[in-house]
A and B are shown apart, each in its own frame.
Chain A
Amino acid sequence: MNNMQGSSLLKYKNYRYLKVSAGMMVLSIVVYLFNEPVGGHPFGGTWLGYTLGVVSTLILLGLMWYGVAKRSITGTPDWSMIAEHEGMAGSHQRPAHGKSSVNKGLRGSGMLQEWLSGHIYLGISLLVLATLHTGFHLGWNVHTLAYVLMMLVIFSGFYGLNAYLNYPRLITLNMGEDTLDDLLLKIAELDELATARALDLSDEVNVLVMESCQETRVGGNLLQQLSGTQRDCPTRFAVQHLMTLGGHYIRDDQRKMLRDLYSLLLRKEKLVLRARTEIMLKARLECWLYLHAPLGIALFSALAAHIISIFFYW
């Protein structure tokens, strides 16, 4: 479609934040190289070190503000909108709905998208800025703790970016229009049908079906969720062993019933697999946030300690 592709996170506003971030990284590397003092690396205590430290801190605060912006759509000002609005005050109340945006076929600039795009690129720039700020002086102290935490936050962010770019598509491919509740409902229905059908068959079959109904797990603890499988899944076991049961002695009508039951279980196995994949993909899409955000807070605290402690060097 001519207009379907809005801009992606990375390409947002023609790589605006990539440019900003790359510029900062290159500039700081160049300045660092030209400023190498005799007999050692520059570090936090030089004017360059202070500058890098202050800039990095400001960037970090901005990055952390993303968490607030996300939760407060109207509370956080959208600067570009306000500028536009004031420029046009009086003529049109709502620039977003004027002719020009209609003609583009897309409406409402993604305010949070801008925040996130900036968050990603500026976050990456800290990789360079903070490293230069250390002057490669690392040790067992609160300063290095802050640095290590920052690196952990950034690398968890890399995982998150990769997840955001790849998993959404896989989720749709797996689920189509169904929701997880739909699948679970269908599974419950199949269980009911299978249980009813098994009543006319042998006890061994009944045990298989009952175990499939009662022991099949979707989800579970974090590791189970992330793996997307169940060890010794009873439904899979039932599918594998059902047709070998009964052997030669079953009647023809029972054979037909067995075949029906088999197809029910096959359908169930497929649904269970899809439900597990859904949970797995969602877990993989979200799990990193449980590291990224708390580590970010820890980083914030360590950074505060770092800043306070440097005053004692003076």
Chain B
Amino acid sequence: MMTDQFKIVIVGSGPGGMSAAARAAELGLSHLLLEAAPHLASTIHHFQKGKTVMAEPAVLPLRSAISFGPGSREAILDTWRDELAEYSVNLRLNAAVAAIAGHAGDFQITLLTGECIRAEFVVLAIGIQGNIRKLAVPGEDLPGVQYQLDDPDEFNNETIVVVGGGDAGVENALALSRQNRVILVNRQDEFSNCKEANYEQLMTAVSRGKIEIRVNTLTERVEAYSGGTFKLSYMAQTPEGHEQIDCHRVIARLGAKPPRQLVESFGVHFPNSDSGAVPQLSEQYESNVPGLYIVGALAGYPLIKQAMNQGYEVIEYIQGNPVEPADELLLRMKFACVPDIHSVTEGIALLRANQPLLAPLTTLQLREFMLESTVQVPKRGELIFNRNDYSNSFFSILEGRIAIQTEAPDGEAAVFSLGKGEFFGEMGLLSGRRRSGSATASEDCILVETSRRSMLKLLYSASGVQRKLDEVSLKRVVRSCLDTMLPESELEYLVHDAQSRRYAVGDELFHEGDQADGLYMIRRGSVTVSRQVAGKEIVLAYISAGNYVGEMALVSNMPRSATVRAASPTEVIMLEALRVTEVLSRNTSMRRKVDSRFLEHVRSDEYSLSSESSGLINFLMEEGVGEATDVLLIDYARCIRCNNCETACADVHDGTSRLDREAGATYAQIHVPTSCRHCEHPHCMKDCPPDAIHRSVNGEVFISDNCIGCGNCQDNCPYGVIQMAVKQDYQKRTIWQIILGTQPAKATQVTSGELLKKAVKCDMCKDILGGPVCVRACPTGAALRVSPEAFLGYVK
């Protein structure tokens, strides 16, 4: 079989790949752009119809042979298609890559069809969406067989076979069943992969004969049906034998294959098994396989503009042109405030030399790190952050000294001094809670402040950093939880073989009646303490990060008196029992503190046992209040259902209410409405491409204006409190309009082409004097905003 030979083969026709191919074409290099899908830029192609695509970050200049600016999905895709044609880019659609072998100068790229292509260099720009799984049977590509459902209302009076028992399949089947005959095929015995709510709806639909299901059924083939009204014949193997279903359409929702496995099969290393990990790359985007370059989302750069810049740069690098990266100017501006630093290279070198924590990073990673960091040069005596602030950034000290003033829960103050090469702020970062101390510059300093997001990204992708951070932070956690005045030598002894342990929600740290194995410092998350009373589990208390549990058994030298369970994803440091008792016997001040804590717990447990709070704590934990920092509760015994909370919320937030009073669970007159809880580790922040979700100093999690409307946060929020809303031209009523009962004149509606949906959620009215209006607008005092640690903690 003849094989083609190219200088550069680019895999993936997203923004990165396309930009690389266009640059290669512009330079007249022999190249080939491969795309698995039958169209360009699959991820963007599958955006919702008419969606506005944004060009963040606005400050980053675009450097690419093809153009890009904010606009509708259709306009952008059209432009790209035209421009690729203009450059005569050598593009092959429907060409999925199965394997890449060989080395720089001679790569063999094997397509799924078995065809082999040779290339000197390979640029991998396949993104992170993965390839949509197909049926993998004869007929999988027949017209009428589809792997996507954009608008279920498009079809009616059809017979449709939906394949796939996951959420996507079940949701599609439910939506289609309104006006079609639907047969849902699941290869498994049960629908265990779909959400409870979907499963229930499915079962209702099945019991009412709206949907037929086939379980334990494998697709054999799909054939075009000749004659009759049906277009397709779907053949499957059921437990009862072969079955033929004549239908109009087959919709298969089999999920996507994450690209990591494929990429690893090319020989590319990932630093760890974390799902957020990105492969390690050189400054020139070259992977550990020489000649194999990686750009775009797969390399950890999720934004379109970044990917396009990298596509351009990677071709230059392959050509041996040392182009200045597009972010050079931005980085230079960051270092501008440091007097002795004149170039980015010098700045990066200083960072590498003076912060051992960052030593394992490549220059590319350091540049990326700096792009999302700021350099600060506080003068002596300047405040960096305050105790109880809600900031969660991370600080590295490049020059100077910093004084940290902490205050233990019992009010005892202590001061620590940190110098060059050390770091601070990691406790807030890891716990997601308020700062446990204040930081002040005790000399003129050079600091690098890094955002939570890029720090977490770093921890996921560079395991060396995580290890180094852990070593230092372990002692700090023990100190802050137990006794700030504990001598260094005792601390060393305590943490000698301390273990860091992680628990999922509901996991037990220890069980009532167990022998005491040690003292548990809660570093992140929260736990509930419960006891068996008359065969029933009674929840006694909720304890949050920054505290410890397990001292009762240690102090009293008895088995565990209660069971402790994680209420949210929790990380603890376990100090060994023997070491703790030894240190306690030597340190009277610590002994006194632990003893008083013990007495407090005994008293509070007795109180909780005699009150009826247990069921309520349980209920609130089930509602996810355990991971909240501030939650809106409504006392339904007092709520007159006037919805003034919603009205007021809409009134101060451009006409869209960010809370749904009626939705949500209720227990014993306590109602948890659908409203943001400002989680310790906000799920919404997890995957925000423009990094638009932040936590303010006072703790409010809010979405800033650079939201690109992708909807990831809406999908990621387990509490359904984020909505996508069109920004309206909302006019408040004036006092006279209220008195006279008239409405303001309707503002002119924006034309549909410019409708821009952005994510909106509760920001706790952070910019409004007086605090959350939902609470202030409640005439009967039924609406309350509470922080669970104060609300559910040990009764003082």
A binding-site residues for B, Cβ under 8 Å: 1-4, 6-9, 12, 68, 70-75, 78, 81-82, 85, 94, 96-97, 99, 102-113, 115-116, 164, 167-169, 171-172, 176-177, 179, 192-193, 282, 285
Contact = CB atoms under 8 A, between A and B. Distances in A.
Given A9-B780, A94-B698, 20 more contacts: A6-B781, A8-B638, A8-B780, A68-B739, A70-B777, A73-B773, A74-B652, A74-B732, A102-B787, A104-B790, A107-B772, A110-B781, A111-B777, A112-B777, A112-B779, A115-B779, A168-B640, A176-B666, A177-B665, A177-B666
6 contacts: A68-B735, A73-B648, A105-B786, A107-B630, A113-B780, A164-B640
A297 to B, nearest CB: 11
B776 interface: yes
Interface string B784-795: 111100111001
Given A105-B787, A177-B665, A111 B770 contact: yes
Contacts of B639: 168
A176 B732 CA distance: 35
Secondary structure at the A interface, as helix, strand, loop or mixed, is helix
B781 A9 contact: yes
Given A1-B616, A111-B770, A73 B791 contact: no
Interface of B: 208, 388, 613, 616, 630, 635-641, 644, 647-648, 651-652, 662, 664-666, 669-671, 698-699, 732-735, 738-739, 766, 768-773, 775-787, 790-792, 795-796
Nearest to B665: A177
B368 to A, nearest CB: 33
Contacts of B664: 177
A107 B666 contact: no
B698 A97 contact: yes
Contact of B776 (A78, A167, A176): A78
B775 A71 contact: no
Nearest to A171: B641
Contacts of A110: 775-776, 778, 781, 783
A68 B780 contact: no
A285 B640 contact: yes
Contacts of A7: 781
Contacts of B791: 1-4, 105
A85 B769 CA distance: 9
Given A109-B776, A112-B779, A179 B635 contact: no
Nearest to A164: B640
Given A4-B670, A285-B641, A75 B735 contact: yes
Contacts of A68: 735, 738-739
B779 A3 contact: no
Name which of B665, B766, B768, B791 has the most chain A CB atoms within 10 A of its CB.
B791
Given A3-B790, A68-B739, A85-B769, A164 B780 contact: yes
B779 A116 contact: yes
A282 to B, nearest CB: 7
A234 to B, nearest CB: 24
Contacts of A192: 208
B764 to A, nearest CB: 8
A254 to B, nearest CB: 22
A107 B775 contact: yes
Contacts of A12: 781
A110 B770 CA distance: 10
Contacts of A116: 779-780
Contact of A106 (B641, B670, B734, B785): B785
A96 B733 contact: no
Contacts of A179: 662
B775 A108 contact: yes
A6 B633 CA distance: 11
Contact of A8 (B670, B781, B790, B792): B781
A169 B669 contact: yes
A235 B124 CA distance: 68
Contacts of B785: 106-108
Contacts of A107: 630, 771-772, 775, 784-787
Contacts of A105: 786-787, 790-791
A288 to B, nearest CB: 12
A4 B70 CA distance: 48
A157 to B, nearest CB: 13
Nearest 9 Cβ contacts at the A-B interface: A105-B790, A96-B771, A108-B775, A108-B771, A107-B785, A111-B776, A172-B636, A113-B781, A73-B648
A241 B473 CA distance: 75
| Interface-central residue, A102, A108, A168, by most chain B CB under 10 Å | A108
A98 B783 CA distance: 20
B435 to A, nearest CB: 12
Contacts of B784: 4, 6, 106-107
A82 B769 CA distance: 8
Contacts of A168: 636-641, 780, 782
Nearest to A176: B666
Contacts of A70: 644, 777, 779
A76 B785 CA distance: 21
A68 B736 CA distance: 9
Contacts of B698: 94, 97
Contacts of B671: 172
A282 B639 CA distance: 12
Nearest to A68: B738
Contact of B790 (A73, A102, A109): A102
A282 B643 CA distance: 13
Nearest to B792: A1
A60 to B, nearest CB: 15
Given A110-B781, A282-B641, A97 B773 contact: no
B721 to A, nearest CB: 17
A75 B640 contact: no
Contacts of B651: 72-74
Nearest to A110: B781
B778 A1 contact: no
Contacts of A72: 651, 733, 735, 738
A109 B781 CA distance: 9
A192 B209 CA distance: 12
Nearest to A113: B781
Which residue among A7, A106, A109, A172 has the maximum number of chain B CB atoms within 10 Å of its CB? A172
